[in-house]
Amino acid sequence: MPEKFTSKSKYYRAFYNEMLRYWPNVTASEAREYAREYTSAEFGHSGFDWSEEAAREMARSYVADFGETSK
């Protein structure tokens, strides 16, 4: 399966925007840090899906694993 990529800024923005749906008070800086910790890989590292959809999916998984939604 070919690896999927978007730009670094689009990837982290997609993660942040998805996080906002569940945690409206999260900052962009916090979301970026959560994404980095959750993947434990540098952006663009081989073997990961770096698409915007993958970022949104990862944000949903992060919320499910680490906290309640505010909805």
Per-residue pLDDT reduced to its tens digit, 18-43: 999 999 999 999 999 999 999 988 89
Q: How confident is the model at residue 47 (pLDDT cuts 50, 70, 90)?
A: confident
3-state DSSP call for residue 50? strand
Q: pLDDT: is 3 or 61 the higher one? A: 61
Contact 43, 8 (CB under 8 A): yes
23 belongs to a structural domain: yes
pTM to 2 decimals? 0.87
19 belongs to a structural domain: yes
The structure tokens 């540098």 sit at 42
CA dist., res. 52 & res. 68, Å (int): 23
Query: What is the total count of domains within the chain?
Result: 1
CA dist., res. 35 & res. 27, Å (int): 12
71 belongs to a structural domain: no
What pLDDT score does 2 carry? 46
The answer, yes or no, to whether residue 70 has pLDDT greater than 80, is no
Contact 32, 16 (CB under 8 A): yes
